[in-house]
Chain A
Amino acid sequence: MKKYVTVRVGKHISFFYDKKAVVVLAALIAAAIFLFLISIGSGEIRMSPLEAAAALFGYGEEIHQTVIVTFRLPRVLVAWLAGMALAAAGAILQGMVRNPLASPDVLGITGGAAAAVVGFLALFSDENHSLIVSIHWLPLAAFLGASAAAWLVYMLAWKNGLAPLRLVLVGIGVSALMQALTTLLMITGPIYRASQANVWITGSVYGASWQHVLLMAPWVIGLLLVAILAARHVNVQELGDELAMGLGGAVERQRLGLVLLSTALTGGAVAFAGGIGFVGLMAPHMARRLVGSAFGALLPTAALLGGVFVMGADLAGRLLLAPAEIPAGVFTAALGAPYFIYLLYRSRKS
C-alpha cells in the first residue's frame, strides 16, 4: 500500500503527504470551528455555540450580534492567526536546523520582535502616549526586530557550519539580551506604558480590534501560503546539507529564504498578539506525531494546532478568573514549558 500521496501542480508546486494526514486535518478544522464558536460565545454575555453561529450569520438577538462582531470576533481571529503563524514558523525552523528544540522563542526571534515593538512604542509616542506614526508600521518593526535577532543568532552560532546544539545555546543568550533590552525600554518609559507593554509581552489578544485583524490577516495568510509552497525545500533541507546539495538544492539560498519566512511569520504574530511563548515549539512536535514529518502535511497540521492552542489559551484566560483576565501567553507557557521538559526527557536516546 502506498503511504504517501504526491501532489504536483505545474512546475513549482509539489508536495507529498501521508494519507492519514487528510483525516487529521479534517478533525483539526472541525476542532478549530467548534472552539471558535465556544470562544465567541463565552464571556460576560454567554451564548451557546448554536446561538453564536446564528449571531455570526446575522440572526438572533441584536445584542449578541453586537458583542460578537465588535468585540469577540476580532479577538478570536487575532488569537487564531497568531497561533497559526507561530506554529508554522516553528515548524519551518525545526525542519531547517534539524533540531526539535528550535523554536522562535527559544532562538530569541520572538524576543527580538518584542524588543522592537516596545522600542517602536517608546520611540514614536508623544507626551500623551499616543502614537505619532500609523500603527500600520508595527508589524514591520516586529519583523525587523525578529530578523535582527535571527541574523544575530545565525552569525554567532556559525562556526564551520551550524551545529544544532550551539544554535540553541546561542539562541538562549540572544533571548536574554533581547529581554534585557525590552526591560530597559520599558523602564525608561512611563509606568503607564510599562504596564501596557508588560501585558503585551506576556502575550495577550485583549483589546484586539478589526484594524488589527485587517492588518494581520493578509500578512499571515499570505506568508502561510508561501510557506506551503516552500514546503518541498524544507523536506530537502531536512536531509542534511550534503544530500540536499547533491539533489541540486541551492541550500544556502533556500535556507536564507526559509529563515526570512519564519521570522516574518513570527514578527506578524508578535506584533499583534505579543510574545505568546512555546506555541512554535509545541505545535510542530505534536503535528509530527500526528502526521509524520512530510512537510506538505506537517505545516498545515502544525498551523491548525497552533491556532487551536492560542484560541484555547485565550478562552481559558477569559474564563478562569473572570472577570479578571489572564493573558493567553501565561497558559501557553504553563502548558509549553512542561512539554518542552518532556521532549528533553525523551531526547535522551539521541
Chain B
Amino acid sequence: MLATKREKMVGLIGLLIVLLVAMWMSIVCGYTDTSWRQAVAALIDNDGSNAHLVVATVRLPRALIAAAVGASLAMAGALMQALTRNPLASPGIFGINAGAGFFIVVMVTFFSISSLQLLSWVAFMGAAMAALIVFVISAAGKDGLTPLKMTLAGTAVAALFASLTQGMLAMNEKALEEVLFWLAGSVAGRKLELLAAVFPYLAAAWLGSMLLARHVNILMMGDDVAKGLGQRTTFIKAAAALLVVLLAGGSVAVAGPIGFIGIMVPHMARALAGVDHRWLLPYCALLGGILLLAADIGARYVLMPREVPVGIVTALIGVPFFVYIARRGITVK
C-alpha cells in the first residue's frame, strides 16, 4: 500500500500515464493495425483516407468510451461498497445494470425510440428504479440492510429484469439483432455522440463523488458515529445513491451492462491507496478506465477476426475475483 501523500500522488500520476498508454494502445491495436504515425496524423491532420477514418470514427470513440465507462463503473462500485458496507456490492450484482438495460429494451422495442438524449434518460430511470427496489426490499425486515440481504435481493432483481428483457427479445427477433451485442456489454461501434449525450452527467457525478468523499469517510465509521459528528447521514446517503445512479445509468446507456468492473476495481484500489475515499475514488477512476481498456483490447484478439463483447471478458476475469471475495467472507470494516 502506498503510505504517504507523496507516494499516493506519484502513484496517481503513474496510473494516469498507464491510462493514456492504454488509450493509445486501444487506438492503435486491432484487426486493421494502425501505425502510430498514421494515428497521430489522423488525429491532427485527417486527410479522409480509410486508415484515418478508422482511427477518427471507430478507434478514438471506442477508447474514450471505454475509459469513461470503466472509470464510472468503478467509482459507482466504490460508492456502493461504502454505502452498503458490502464488499460484493456493484452495479452489476445489484441489478442496476439489468434495470437500465430492461428500460432501454422496452423503449427500443415498443416505442422505437432512438434519440440518444432520451435513451440516456431512460437508462437513468431504469437504474434508479432498480436501485430503489433493491434498497426497499433489503431494508425491510428487522435487522435492516445486511450485506447478505442486499446481495440476494440484488441478484433476484437482476434475474427478474434479465428474464423480462429476454422474454421481450424472444418475442421480437428484429430487436434482438439490434440489442444482443449491446446487452452483452460492449464499447465497440458506439458513436461519439452517445458519449457526448451522457458525458455531462458522468462528469458531474465524478466531481460530485470527489466532493462527497470526505463525508463518505465519516459515514464509513458507522451511522451512530457519523450522526454524533454532526453529519446529516440521510442526506449524504441519498446524495451517494444519486451519484451511483448517474454513474451506472450513464455507463449502461453508452456501453450496455458491463459487469464486475464495479466489484473488482475498488478492491484493487483499496489495496493500493487505502480506505480514504479522497484517494480511493480517483484511484478507482483510473484503474477502472485502465481495466476496461485492457479488457476491450483483449476482446479484439480472443476470437480474431470476430470481436467478443467486452462484458464477457470482464465476467470471465471478474468471476474468479468474486468467488475469492465470497470465500473470504462478506463482513467488511
Interface residues of A (CB under 8 A from B): 101, 105-106, 156-157, 159, 165-166, 168-170, 172-174, 176-177, 179-180, 183-184, 186-188, 191, 194-195, 198-199, 201-202, 204, 277-278, 321, 324-327, 329-330, 333-334, 337-338, 340-341, 344-345, 348-349
Residue on A with the closest CB to B148? A165
Contacts of B183 in A (CB 8 A): 183
Contact A173 B170 (CB under 8 A): no
Residue on B with the closest CB to A101? B152
Contact B167 A327 (CB under 8 A): yes
Contact A345 B151 (CB under 8 A): no
Number of interface residues of B (CB under 8 A): 50
CB B98 to nearest CB in A, in angstroms, measures 11
Q: Please report the C-alpha to C-alpha distance between residue A177 and residue B321 in the assembled complex, in whole angstroms.
A: 11
CB A114 to nearest CB in B, in angstroms, measures 11
Our pick among B141, B163, B164, B327 for the contact of A170 (Cβ within 8 Å) is: B327
Contacts of B157 in A (CB 8 A): 337, 341
Contact B149 A344 (CB under 8 A): yes
CB A281 to nearest CB in B, in angstroms, measures 9
Our pick among B92, B181, B322, B327 for the contact of A187 (Cβ within 8 Å) is: B181
CB A149 to nearest CB in B, in angstroms, measures 12
Which among A166, A174, A201 has the highest number of chain B CB atoms within 10 Å? A166
Contact B176 A172 (CB under 8 A): no
Known: A177-B319, A341-B137. A172 touches B170 (CB 8 A): no
Contacts of A327 in B (CB 8 A): 166-167, 170
Residue on A with the closest CB to B140? A345
Which among B160, B173, B184, B260 has the highest number of chain A CB atoms within 10 Å? B160
Contact B312 A183 (CB under 8 A): yes
Residue on A with the closest CB to B183? A183
Known: A199-B170, A330-B166, A348-B143. A156 touches B323 (CB 8 A): yes
Contact B171 A277 (CB under 8 A): no
CB B119 to nearest CB in A, in angstroms, measures 22
Stretch binding the partner chain, chosen from B217-225, B226-234, B275-283, B301-309? B301-309
| B180 close to A (CB within 8 Å) | yes
Contacts of A184 in B (CB 8 A): 308, 312
Known: A173-B319, A191-B177, A334-B164. A341 touches B184 (CB 8 A): no
Q: Please report the C-alpha to C-alpha distance between residue A334 and residue B159 in the assembled complex, in whole angstroms.
A: 9
Q: For chain B, what secondary structure do more than half of its interface residues adopt (helix, strand, loop), or is it mixed? A: helix
| B17 close to A (CB within 8 Å) | no
Contacts of B311 in A (CB 8 A): 180, 183
Contact A334 B160 (CB under 8 A): yes
Contacts of B180 in A (CB 8 A): 186-187, 191, 194, 198
Interface residues of B (CB under 8 A from A): 88, 92-93, 137-138, 140-143, 148-149, 151-153, 155-157, 159-160, 163-164, 166-167, 169-171, 173, 176-177, 180-181, 183-184, 259-260, 303, 306, 308-309, 311-312, 315-316, 318-319, 322-323, 326-327, 330
**CB<8 Å pairs between A and B, sample of 24:** A106-B155, A168-B152, A169-B330, A170-B327, A172-B93, A176-B260, A176-B322, A177-B316, A183-B183, A183-B312, A184-B308, A186-B180, A187-B180, A187-B184, A188-B303, A202-B166, A321-B171, A326-B167, A326-B171, A329-B163, A333-B167, A337-B159, A341-B137, A344-B149
Contact A341 B315 (CB under 8 A): no
Q: Please report the C-alpha to C-alpha distance between residue A156 and residue B325 in the assembled complex, in whole angstroms.
A: 11
Contact B141 A176 (CB under 8 A): no
Contact A204 B170 (CB under 8 A): yes
Contact A176 B170 (CB under 8 A): no
Contact B327 A166 (CB under 8 A): yes
Which among B167, B312, B322 has the highest number of chain A CB atoms within 10 Å? B167
Our pick among B177, B184, B326 for the contact of A166 (Cβ within 8 Å) is: B326
Q: Please report the C-alpha to C-alpha distance between residue A144 and residue B180 in the assembled complex, in whole angstroms.
A: 27
Contact A169 B151 (CB under 8 A): yes
Known: A194-B180, A344-B152. A337 touches B140 (CB 8 A): no
Q: Please report the C-alpha to C-alpha distance between residue A44 and residue B308 in the assembled complex, in whole angstroms.
A: 42
Q: Please report the C-alpha to C-alpha distance between residue A350 and residue B100 in the assembled complex, in whole angstroms.
A: 33
CB B320 to nearest CB in A, in angstroms, measures 8
Contacts of B319 in A (CB 8 A): 173-174, 176-177, 180
Residue on A with the closest CB to B160? A337
Q: Please report the C-alpha to C-alpha distance between residue A184 and residue B308 in the assembled complex, in whole angstroms.
A: 7
Q: Please report the C-alpha to C-alpha distance between residue A341 and residue B151 in the assembled complex, in whole angstroms.
A: 11
CB B77 to nearest CB in A, in angstroms, measures 15
Known: A183-B184, A187-B184. A170 touches B323 (CB 8 A): yes
Given A170-B327, A348-B149; 20 other pairs, CB 8 A cutoff: A165-B148, A166-B327, A172-B151, A172-B155, A176-B318, A177-B315, A184-B308, A187-B184, A188-B306, A191-B176, A191-B177, A195-B177, A198-B166, A202-B166, A278-B159, A330-B166, A333-B164, A341-B137, A344-B152, A344-B156
